[in-house]
Amino acid sequence: MNSRVTYLKNSWPFRSAVVLTMLLALAWHGAPAHAASTPPIFFTQAQYQNSMARNQMEPGSLASCTVPNVTITHSPGYVVPTKAPQMIFANLAATPKAACNDGSPAVFLFRKGFGVAASRWVIYIDGGGQCYSQKSCIEREKTHPESLLSSVPYSTGAQKFTPIAGILSPNPALNPDFYDANQVQISYCSSDYWMGEKDGNKAMTSAQILASEDVKNWYFDGHGIIQAVIQMLQQQYGLNNATDVLFAGGSAGAVGVFMNADFISGLLPVTTRFVALPDSGYALSSFPDYNPATGGNDPLPTTDQTVLKDGQSLWASIGDFDCAYASQQAHTGAANVSCDYPDLLAQNGTYRIPMFIRSSYQDATILGTYNIKQPVTPEEQPYVTNFTNAMLQSLASTNSWLSVFGLNSTVHTMIKNIAFTDGTYTFIFGATLSLSDAVGTWYRDPCSAPRYFQLTSLN
């Protein structure tokens, strides 16, 4: 791996003068400004006003960020807990949209914050791929853990949550800034990138739904799960008193962060400081798939385009609410598949909240969706080189108020494992820091929008 790393901070002038002369800039996709008095069809008036007021950033503009800086402090007397976090199941009678694919209730872990950090929250949504058709969903049922479709394994004790390190660790050595915050980890069991709003067959039990092997009976309620868990946390666990909320996710969970961050910004009190961290959910919306038979590119549509187009129909998804509302106002309908692509959303001015995008240019998991398996063969290397350059180009073309941590690496998710603190990266301006250092720097002062790019040779 090329060890030369470039650190770009407040880098719009630098990017204009240098990066954009090296890279082909992606097109700017403007979005219409909102009529602040009219909420989207899936928001209440109060929620929409909260979201609009959060930063006063209008889509399509380089508006100034107004999120205040914060000093992270900790109370003395903290002891690393030995007990596992509390496992909580949604009450489907109170929140009927909080359903896994089989109709069982969503499940999440909760660990209460300590001392001065009791008003600080980290809410993390898990990943685990997706399915988008009858064939792919039944294959997912047969080849993946049942916990990706159901909470039943958690209720019986057959399945446990993945051991936590990184940003959800209660150990200060592994999580120096957020170890004592309120920590929430929501299990992913909706197979829809956390985007769906589709109810399943309410007349069938969980076992019957899966046994039917008919995807028409499934629930795809990922968006509903997030909304319901936020509601539970507000009503029962003190989230409404939060001063700071970090919304994060990895892999499919990172896509869920891209799709739900604007929405959650309207669910929280406008006084709550809210930022988002998607890890390894950034992909290229129009880069062609690799064809192993020819060694060239497959014609469009790509696999990802097919997944999102078919998935939008199957999941009854809307995508990012802000983008969907713009489409609604333009009379093109709220269900606009372009609202489902993180790279376009990160470039076109949609997001009004600070966001830290963690991505690897040669992410092995993401490359797998383009038909490149590991290890890469010599025949595949030219494609991978082009893909790497395109990822760097795309990330460098994101809005300047969004922070980026881009590595010339194959690693997939990092923030919820030991890689969060292990390893440092040296930048040409003299800074040497780990991912946790970079996240902490951004979290304290998100409006400075630090941008870290590890460059690779451009052929």
Residue ranges of E strands in 269-374:
273-279, 290-291, 296-297, 356-360
Please give the average per-residue pLDDT across 71-84, as a whole number.
96
Q: Are strands 273-279 and 244-250 parallel, antiparallel or unpaired?
A: parallel
| pLDDT of 27 over the 60 cut | no
Considering only residues 374 and 14, tell me which one the structure prediction assigns the higher pLDDT: 374
Structure tokens at 227: 């909304």
Q: Phi first, then psi: give them for residue 277, nearest 5 degrees.
A: -140, 95
> What amino acid occupies position 188?
Y
Give the chain's mean pLDDT.
Answer: 86
Report domain extents, the chain: 6-453
- Kindly indicate the confidence band of residue 422, based on its pLDDT and cuts at 50, 70 and 90: confident
Respond yes or no on whether the N-terminal peptide bond of residue 153 is cis (omega within 30° of 0). no
Residue 60: pLDDT band with limits 50, 70, 90: very low
Query: Can you give the pLDDT at residue 52?
Result: 64
Per-residue pLDDT band for 35 (boundaries 50, 70, 90) equals very low
List the structure tokens of 353.
């909240």
Tell me what pLDDT residue 51 has: 66
What value does the mean pLDDT take over residues 437-447?
A: 96
- Express as a percent the part of the chain with pLDDT over 90: 69
Omega within 30 of 0 (cis) for the link into 59: no
Residue 66's pLDDT is what? 83
What integer is the mean pLDDT of 389-406? 93
Least confident of 37-46, 208-217, 325-334, 354-363: 37-46
Greater pLDDT, 140 or 6: 140
Q: For 138-176, what is each residue's pLDDT tens digit? A: 999 999 999 999 999 999 999 888 777 899 999 999 999
pLDDT value for 322: 81
Sort strands 403-407 and 356-360 into parallel, antiparallel or unpaired: parallel
pLDDT of 40 above 70? no
Q: Which residue has the tokens 């994060």?
A: 248
Residues 125, 170 contacting (CB under 8 angstroms): no
Which amino acid appears at position 191 of this protein? Answer: S
* Predicted local confidence at residue 36, as pLDDT: 43
* Cα angle: 420, vertex 425, 431; to 5 degrees: 115
The model carries a pTM of: 0.89
Question: What's residue 39's pLDDT?
Answer: 56
Rounded to an integer, the average pLDDT of 5-20 is 35
Q: Which two tokens stand for residue 350?
A: 């949609």
Q: Is the pLDDT of residue 439 over 50?
A: yes
